């Protein structure tokens, strides 16, 4: 899978792309991440990529010419791509969208900056706009890293354990159950006995109940989307009873 990233700060991507899952996926040839400097496509000797907004106002706006020129140059090299502008005005990036993008062969991510990107770029030269949350960053670079990471781990072979991606939080609208590891007793805090039982069915039921309870308490918006089975309702009640003790 190919990721093309358009940015005015390409050095921001050097370390994150070489580490952990992303670094290994690149080494194995599962992903190809190409970072393009928008300034290289500017039309003036000062490599200006922003200007003041028409109509007045604070801040600067990213100019259309360098971005569109960059798109024109990179789209000729490789398979067809979905072009995505990273913007606080985009649809909220979710695990469902990550799965959708993981089925593509190529994605182009445009990193906005300042007060945003000239609206003509968004309206006529992109296929989608995505936001990673209801807050403002200094630019789209961190959002691009998050999307590359979330999508890459869904590509077959990217994770050491093939089942890990399917059991993550948000694989359905349920947060992950509590996790524990050694030591069994840490400063008087012990691991729940059920996890030491060796009974996989009892452990499965406990984890499901804990996950449902955690989702109900921490993310009621997600919980409201669930269609609970009779077993789910019983496990949720059991988890509630345990929490009251």
Catalytic residues: 88, 115, 153, 168
Residue 10 in tokens? 């390409």
Q: Distance between alpha carbon 105 and the CA centroid of its chain, in Å?
A: 17
Which of 35, 62, 34 minimizes the C-alpha distance to 47?
A: 62
Rg (CA), the chain: 23
Cα angle: 217, vertex 221, 223; to 5 degrees: 60
205's tokens: 């039921």
Task: Yes or no: say if 131 and 143 are a contact pair by the CB < 8 Å rule.
Answer: yes
Joined tokens for residue 170: 């948000």
């Amino acid at each position: 899978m190919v990721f093309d990233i358009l940015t005015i700060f390409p050095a921001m991507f050097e370390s994150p792309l070489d580490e952990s899952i992303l670094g290994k996926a690149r080494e194995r040839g599962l992903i190809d991440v190409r970072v393009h400097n928008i300034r290289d496509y500017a039309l003036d000797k000062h490599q200006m990529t922003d200007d003041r907004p028409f109509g007045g106002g604070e801040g600067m706006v990213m100019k259309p010419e360098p971005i569109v020129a960059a798109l024109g140059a990179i789209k000729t090299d490789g398979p067809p791509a979905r072009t995505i502008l990273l913007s606080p005005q985009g649809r909220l990036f979710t695990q469902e969208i990550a799965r959708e993008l993981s089925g593509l062969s190529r994605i182009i991510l445009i990193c906005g900056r300042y007060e945003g990107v000239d609206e003509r770029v968004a309206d006529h030269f992109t296929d989608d706009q995505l936001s990673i949350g209801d807050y403002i960053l200094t630019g789209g670079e961190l959002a691009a890293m998050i999307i590359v990471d979330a999508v890459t781990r869904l590509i077959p072979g990217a994770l050491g354990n093939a089942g890990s991606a399917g059991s993550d939080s948000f694989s359905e609208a349920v947060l992950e159950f509590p996790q524990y590891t050694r030591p069994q007793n840490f400063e008087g805090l012990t691991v729940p006995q059920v996890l030491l039982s060796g009974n996989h069915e009892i452990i499965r039921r406990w984890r499901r109940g804990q996950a449902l309870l955690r989702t109900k308490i921490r993310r009621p918006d997600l919980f409201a989307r669930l269609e609970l089975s009779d077993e789910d309702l019983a496990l949720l009640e059991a988890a509630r009873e345990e929490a009251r003790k």
